[in-house]
Amino acid sequence: MALLAPESAVPSTLVALVVLRVPAWACLLCFTSYKERLRICQIFSGVEGPEREKCEKAFTAAFQGLLDTEINYDERNHLHDAFTQMTHSLQEMATARGSFEVAFPDAAQKIQEVITQLKEAPACIPPCGLQEVARRFRCRGCYSTVCDLPLDCPVQDVTVTRGQQAMFSCTVNFQLPKEEITYSWRFAGGGLRTQDPSYFRNIPRAEGYLARIRPVQPTHRGTFSCVIKHDQRLLARLYFFLNVTGSPPIKETELQSSFREVLLWAPREAEMIEPWRPSLGELLATPEALTPSNQCLLAATAAIASASLTLLAWMFFRWYFSGN
């Protein structure tokens, strides 16, 4: 993609744009070079002279309607290909002694039709996150932009009774890249409800998008944070404030409670969140678990198990009757 004109062509381009009083980066200038545009006008009207200057002005003016065009960032190569095909067509028309006053508006109309057929970028989904899937390319400036949303998501409240299980799901409501996604967890204890990074410490063993604490104790009251990255690039930070309710058993003395918490309940930092090892039922309950490929795998497993049982039964009866 030729986003910038050659250095020798920049002054001439700027002069022409000042005369026309149009911004320097319309779609035409994003996807074609100054040399390509100059060559087309030279074929239409000659190497020098007022007719060539008139051609250059007409070329730029024909595409002013595409100045504020925005497209899906992933579709920019398709638009670049359309402009490349357009320059070849204009050169052929110029060689055939056609009129640039007719050719340029017609070319701009065809490019507009191509733009309307491009796949639109998904809308930004609030309230947070770097959403690459919604990235757009803007012809006014020839640059891309993403959603203007914060990376820090609002704090979610989680209330769990003491001794029960707390489960945190580090998921967002926008599409993440399919590869090189990493999750890391941090904790701000002491009952703090915060998003200030200085209060958090890392939890080394927690690396998946699901994490749980069991059994939950009052020392777990505080804010847990999950950091989502793609190839080391931060996409979002989620926060969960865990509020622990319930009191110790009635017959438990204060000394017994302290002794029990020291020996059994008090979590070490590396073991606060345990790795999630789901049972078969939990695994099947997760979103997108029963995909067509997983269903085929389960069916194949069931078929193999059934065949194995049939074979064992046949071998047993064969042995039994051969002995008799």
pLDDT tens across 7-36, in order? 333 334 333 333 333 344 479 999 999 999
Please report the pLDDT score of residue 238 as a whole number: 98
Inter-residue contact 238 to 153 (CB < 8 Å): yes
Q: What is the pLDDT of residues 82-116, one digit of tens each?
A: 999 999 999 999 999 999 999 999 999 999 999 99
**Predicted pLDDT of residue 264:** 42
- Give the model confidence (pLDDT) of 44-94 as tens digits: 998 888 999 999 999 999 998 888 899 999 999 999 999 999 999 999 999
Of 20, 24, 23, whose CA–CA distance to 10 is shortest?
A: 24
Is the pLDDT assigned to residue 150 strictly greater than 80?
A: yes
Report pLDDT for 300.
74
By CB atoms closer than 10 A (0-12, 13-18, 19+), residue 304 is: exposed
> In this predicted model, what pLDDT tens digit does every residue of 156-207 receive, in sequence order?
999 999 999 999 999 999 999 988 999 999 999 999 999 999 999 999 888 8
User: pTM for the whole thing?
Assistant: 0.66
Please, which residues bridge with residue 230 across strands? 181, 233
Strand 152-161's sheet: what is its strand order?
Answer: 152-161, 233-245, 222-230, 181-188, 201-203
pLDDT above 90: percentage of residues in the chain: 60
The amino acid present at 314, given as its one-letter code, is W
* CB contact set of 227 (below 8 Å; sequence gap of 6+): 183, 184, 185, 186, 234, 236, 237
The string of pLDDT tens digits covering residues 283-324 is 455 545 556 666 667 677 777 877 788 888 777 777 777 765
Q: Which helix (H) or strand (E) holds 174?
A: none
